[in-house]
Amino acid sequence: MEQEISLKELYQIVKKHFLTVLIAMITGILVFILIMMFFITPKYNSEAQLLVNQQSSQQNIQVSEIQSNIQMINTYRDIITGQSVLGSVNENLNNQFSIKQLRDAITVDQGTNSQAFKVTATMDTAEDAQKVLDELISTFEMTIRDIYGDVEASIFVLSPATYNPNKVSPRIIIFVLLGAIVGLMISMVIILIFELMDTTVKEDDFMVQLGLINLGHVYELTNKELKQTRLTSKQANNSIRERI
């Protein structure tokens, strides 16, 4: 026979085993924090904001030229993360990092309808992040001049590579939430399995659902009640003997 649990019954189960669920959630949080501390390498990033402007032969800048500069940022993104630029960066840094490591570490973000864009380097240390980004900007600037020439393109560093000593990942709040959720899920699965395996009748409503009649309850006496019963029986027997 299939057993179904209503929301009311689920609430009663959680209420009954609240302490167990709470302990499981706390344990999950502690386990995930330990995993974060000992098994996950912290990451640091450095950010820089650039503006690359394609020069116009006309004195008045047309709206179409501004729009063209905005669309060119996709090309700049490909250049920054391309084999040529990252290969030069890797070589200038004495092959300290592989090209794949550098490509995975670099992100390019553009604001909405903006000619400026942000380049971020995420590395294992704050020093490496700033060093990589500084070298990347210099290499990118030389590459752009080689492609478009000094007259046609100008690079403006609106914000140089920053040094941020605070790690950006892993974030402890995320691991706390994950630990609490995992602990909650595991504890609920175990509790539900034990509850479903327990076939003893705990409520009169269960018998009513089966169409059975409750003839009475059998209670288990506590040690105190058993002791009291024995004393009462002994006193009654003594009283009968005295009468005889």
Q: Are residues 57 and 112 in the same domain?
A: yes
A 10 A CB-CB count for 85 gives 23
pLDDT band at 59 (very low <50, low <70, confident <90, very high): very low
The arrangement of strands across the sheet holding 44-54 comes to 106-110, 116-123, 44-54, 153-159
The whole-number pLDDT of residue 63 equals 53
Q: Are residues 103 and 129 in the same domain?
A: yes
pLDDT band at 134 (very low <50, low <70, confident <90, very high): very high
* Helices 126-152 and 73-80, packing angle to 10 deg: 130
**Does residue 50 lie within any of the structural domains?**
yes
Asked whether residue 62 carries a pLDDT value surpassing 70, the answer given is: no
190: domain range? Answer: 7-37+171-230
For the whole model, what pTM was predicted?
0.65
Q: Are residues 199 and 125 in the same domain?
A: no
Q: Are residues 135 and 185 in the same domain?
A: no
Q: Are residues 151 and 56 in the same domain?
A: yes
- Please tell me the distance from the alpha carbon of residue 223 to that of residue 220, in angstroms, as a whole number: 10
Q: Looking at residue 94, what DSSP letter applies?
A: T
- Residue 62: give its domain's CATH number: 3.30.70.1130
**Does residue 82 lie within any of the structural domains?**
yes
Q: Looking at residue 164, what DSSP letter applies?
A: -
Q: Are residues 54 and 116 in the same domain?
A: yes
Q: Are residues 64 and 111 in the same domain?
A: yes
Q: Are residues 82 and 139 in the same domain?
A: yes
Split into its structural domains, the chain has a count of 2
**Does residue 1 lie within any of the structural domains?**
no
Q: Are residues 111 and 211 in the same domain?
A: no
